[in-house]
Structures are given as structure tokens and as C-alpha cells.
Amino acid sequence: MSEKKPYYITTAIAYTSGKPHIGNVYEIVLADAIARYKKMEGYDVRFQTGTDEHGQKVEQKAQEQGKTPKAFVDEMATIVKKQFDVMNVQYDRFIRTTDADHEKQVQKIFRKFYDQGDIYKGEYEGMYCEEDEAFFTTSQLTEEGCCPVCGGKVKPMKEETYFFRMSKYADRLMKYIEDHPDFIQPESRKNEIVNNFLKPGLQDLSVSRTSFKWGIPVDFDPKHVIYVWIDALSNYITGLGYEVDGNHDPLFKKYWPADLHLIGKDIIRFHTIYWPIMLMALDLPLPKQVFGHPWLMVGESKMSKSLGNVIYADDMVHVFGVDAMRYIFLHEMPFAQDGHITYDLMMERINSDLANNMGNLVNRTISMQNKYFNGIVANPHVDETLDTEFKRTILGKVTDVKAQMEELRVQDAIGTILELFSRCNKYIDETMPWSLAKDSDQIGRLATVLYNLLEAIRIGGILLRPFLPETSAKILANLNTQQTSFESCDTFGLLETDIQVVGQPEILFQRLNEKDVAQQIEAANTKYIQEQKKRSIPKKPLVDLEDFSKLDLKVAKVLTCQRHPNADKLFVLTVDLGGGDIRQIVSGLAQSYMPGQVIGKRVVVIANLKPVMIRGLESKGMLLAGKEEGRIGLVEVNGLEPGTIIS
């Protein structure tokens, strides 16, 4: 027997600043589905995820709670892990950046970079924003002297830092991307990286900090801690037992380079510029593909605690069940565009797709097998022309799923499986088994029809395994079949005869009652509100109504949006405030939105702010937005015309 081919898949590691919502957990479920599929194909799969536990924000959160940073991240890592585990995710390692083996190798990696001249010591001087952990010159600040990205307070700081020579490897990286067209996917993400970051030229990157202590110290200069770019990104190799001295663990030799880095589209730049360059400096092969998946939205808004639209995996599993939530995640997320969910949509999908289409099909087919043949499966091959088309369609769905998963089109693949079950329901309507049962001369035909249905359900149940593993197991257990290999899906007719299906099939999905679901969701929301009340939220001083009335708040429509040529975190927008008032506004949205997501939105603008220069471009106004843990959500006002006054 030939040795299985290795396949290594990773996700981004979760930052331990708060409980991850389903927008974060979605990525882990997606990776789990891909990993399970590859295992089903016969690969020797390794799946790694984990937590990013260092940094100034973690240090501050720990101080606010009166805990040491290590005690805080220990607690948060447990919370993060629980959110992953509740979704029935099977990872091989949950790495933490506080793990001893990781910290040791990160120090060695930093020293290697320094020894070979890729890192040098320099100095940053300017106004420092703790929220964004970034420096700005005085000319870059807003007119009020605030951070041009988040609008928060800044303070003067001069900091010694180590820089990585990014520019040294820029041409080599550009050529690699050109020679490996599948390295960055989807294609739109690759175009963004090349046109917005590589072609304009790379600046050297600050890779250490002295402004906080919670991090991995530079062993030869311990007042510096190693910043996230080297610390967090290195987990993909340290988790396999990478050793700078070359004495690698067998896991590293077996699984590196990674087959797939699955990450959110907002951090694709770090994984397709910083990380590849570091690997080049280590003389290591680059991952085969980096896939920047879209975001999971609640309605039309990105999930954010500040917007009050956060949904947690454990709460939703309690209401809907594990496989139902896995289905929602995987079915509602397109290949390249953001996915949109609401509670109404969840109920509709579960009742229509899972309970009616799939669940009812399995239940009534097995019930008919029990009613007409005492559950004993037979196939007398009393075939008709209709059966040939039916079998061809079922096997065609198998081919489609394979092609879709080859391109990581998980939504399309799970949709194809549902189409298979829909075709089975149509086959029942076409053949009408209940009518055949009334005619003793049609018993052979009835047995053939039910066999074809059970066989198609068997194939669909196997295909479902990576996506809805519990449901897949239930379907195959109901059939009482031993023909459960992925390879068996390529042949129609392998379901054993003379086996007996279960006497009472297990209900796969119960139909949901809107009132009951609403009550459970309300209970979950109440729990969240109570948790929020426990948080200490600083309040700003009261202002007079006269002061507030000085603000001219208007509805504006975003006409264009592009990245700021001199700042990664900024967008340059053109907005229409009505009455021919077209303005340019510079806003710090680039880490939370893609340019195309902003165009066309109706937003609220403070229209009477004095113009200010931000990184060399004039900005005439400010967009209203909320911010939570680094994520920014625009205040949107759908249905109002540009120029409408907000009061």
C-alpha cells in the first residue's frame, strides 16, 4: 500500500483579547471541512490552529482585570478553544504563542535574521497611538491632534526598534507571485497585493517594541520584545517542530511547506508579503497557497460588539445544533464575496434545506422500506429509462463536488450535495412508490425504486461527511451499510442487498418553531447584555446641547474608494452630500473593509469640520463609525438621500 500524501492546512491564530464570535469561528469550521475532505480523499492531513497571546493590548487588558498577562491569556485561550470545540472541529495542534517550543524558536529566528543582516537596529520617532500600535508624524495627525486612523489620543514617543529589510526581498517575492499564479487566492486578493503594496515599493518593517513588556524578549537585547510579525506568523513552522539549527522534528520534514494558509481577507497582506519574505530569509520553501476568505456578515453589517450584532457559536449551537450551524457557516459564505446571515435566514435554511429536503427524504424513504419490505433491501433490477438519468445525475453530483472542492468552493460543494437530495425527492414524485405498492405486479419495480433511493442517499451521506459529520454518520447508520468509503461514491449500486435498514429512523433535523427560537435567542442576548454590564466602560463628560448642535451631520453616498498611497490603514473616499457637494474624505477603514465594500454605502458625515491634511491628502469631513477591538463598522443609513440632515 502506497504511503499517504501529506497535506498541511492552517488558520490564522486568534488574538486573545476577547471571546471570538462566529465571524471568527467560521474560518475554523471552513478549515475543518477542507481538512476532513482531504482526509476522506486519502491524504495524511495535519490541521493547526491556535492563539496569538502577546502584545500591548493583551498586557493592558490583563492590567484592567488585575491579572498577570499569562493568567489572562490562559483564561482566554480556554475560551477560544471552547468556541472551536463546540463546532466539532478536529485540529491536530492548538498552538499558543506562549508555548515554550514556540518562544524558543522565535528567539532563534530573530537572532538568525540579525546575524545575517536582515534585521538592523534603528529608531522611530513621532506621535504614538497605543490602539493601533503605530507611529505618526505631527503633520499626519488630525487637526485635533489625534490619530488619523482611529481618532484616538496620541503621545510623543521616541522608540528604539529593530527593522527587517523588506525591500531586500521585494523583487524576489514579486517574481515568485508571477511564477506561481495560485499562490494568492482568490484572484482579486492577488491583484490587491501586487498593485497596492508590492509595485509602489516596500518599506522596512519594525519588528520589535520597547513600549511594552508582554512579549518574547530579544535574547541578545532583552529590553526589546519581538513584535507580532515574527512572533505570530512563525507559529506555522514552530508548530511542526522547526529548528533554526536544522535539527527539525520529523513533522516539519513531512508537512512543510504548508498546502494551505486559510486566513481572513483583512490579514492577507501579512501572509503574502511579510511571511513569504521571512521564509525566504530562512531559506525555506513558501506555502503552496494563501487563501483570503471573505467575512461573515450579520445582515449587511460586519459583526462587531459595538454594533450589537455579535453572535457566539456556543449560543447558536444551543439553539440550532452543531451541524445546523456548520451548514449555515459553509452554505452562506460565497467563494470571494462576503456572506450574509440573519436569524430569519438561519431558520429558513434549517427548515427548508435540512429538515424538509434532506431530513424528510431520509425519513420517508426508510419508512417506506420498512412498510413495504420489513426493512430488507433488495434490488431486482426492474429498471426503466428514468432510472438511467437518475443514476447519471447522482454520479454527476459526485464529480461536481470533487471539482468544487479542488478549487476550495465549499459553498458550491455543499449546495451540490443538497441538489442531490432534491433530485431524490423529485424521483419519489416521478415514481410514486405508494402507487406501485398497490399493484402486486409492481413489487419488483417498487423494490428497485427504493433501492435506487437508498443508494443515492448513501452516496449523499458520504459526500456530506466533511461538512456535517454528525448528520453523515446518522444517515449511514440508518441505512445499516458498510459501504461508506469515499471511493464507493464513484459507483452506483454498491449498497448491499439483504441488509435491513433501521426500524425507526433517527430524525436528522427537527423543524424549528419561530416563537421557541425567538425565546432562546432572547435568552442568549440577555446573557450577553448582563456580561457587558460587568465591563468597566469609561464615560466621557456631558456636553451642552448647544455644543452638539454645532455639528452638521449629513447623509452621504460613497462614490469612490481607494487605498491611500502613503498609508496602509487609510482609504481615500469621494462622497456625495447632495446639492452638488462632492468631497474627498480620508478615513481609517482599510483594515476592516475592502474598497469595493464601501462604494455605494449611505453613511453619516460630519460635514462642517475644517479641512485637514492627512498623510499628504486633504480630507474635508469625517465618517461616523463604531470601533471594537480594532474592528471598525460604518454607521449606515439606508433609504435616505444624500444631503439629508441628521438631527
pLDDT at site 526 = 57
Parts of the chain belonging to CATH 2.40.50.140:
545-645
pLDDT in tens, 85-129: 999 999 999 999 999 999 999 999 999 999 999 999 998 877 877
pLDDT at site 148 = 65
Using CA atoms, how far apart are residues 273 and 186, in angstroms rounded to an integer? 16
Parts of the chain belonging to CATH 3.40.50.620:
6-118+165-293
CATH of domain 355-500: 1.10.730.10
pLDDT at site 604 = 94
| Three-state secondary structure call for residue 238 | helix
Instruction: Please give the annotated binding residues for Zn(2+), written as ranges.
Output: 129, 147, 150
pLDDT band at 536 (very low <50, low <70, confident <90, very high): very low
For residue 544, how many C-alpha atoms fall within 13 Å in the half-sphere facing its CB? 3
Using CA atoms, how far apart are residues 280 and 112, in angstroms rounded to an integer? 12
pLDDT at site 133 = 66
- What is the CATH architecture of 6-118+165-293? 3-Layer(aba) Sandwich (3.40)
Among 20-34, 251-265, 462-476, 566-580, the range scoring the smallest mean pLDDT is: 566-580
pLDDT in tens, 374-392: 999 999 999 999 999 999 9
Place of cell 459553509: 330
pLDDT in tens, 493-503: 999 999 999 99
pLDDT in tens, 144-203: 788 865 677 888 888 899 999 999 999 999 999 999 999 999 888 888 888 888 888 888
pLDDT in tens, 266-276: 889 999 999 99
Place of cell 539549527: 245
Mean model confidence pLDDT for the chain: 89
Is residue 49 over pLDDT 50?
Answer: yes
Is residue 239 over pLDDT 90?
Answer: yes
Place of cell 454528525: 470
pLDDT in tens, 434-491: 999 999 999 999 999 999 999 999 999 999 999 999 999 999 999 999 999 999 999 9
Residues linked to residue 547 through DSSP beta bridges, in sequence order: none
pLDDT at site 342 = 77
pLDDT in tens, 323-348: 999 999 999 876 666 777 777 888 89
Instruction: Please give the annotated binding residues, written as ranges.
Output: 129, 147, 150
Is residue 248 over pLDDT 70?
Answer: yes
Using CA atoms, how far apart are residues 404 and 381, in angstroms rounded to an integer? 32
- In contact, 591 and 633? CB cutoff 8 Å: no
Parts of the chain belonging to CATH 1.10.730.10:
355-500
pLDDT band at 352 (very low <50, low <70, confident <90, very high): very high
CATH of domain 545-645: 2.40.50.140
The answer, yes or no, to whether the previous bond of 287 is cis (omega within 30 of 0) is no
pLDDT band at 613 (very low <50, low <70, confident <90, very high): confident
What's the average model confidence in pLDDT over 47-69?
Answer: 94
3-state percent breakdown (helix, strand, coil) of the chain, nearest 5: 45, 20, 35
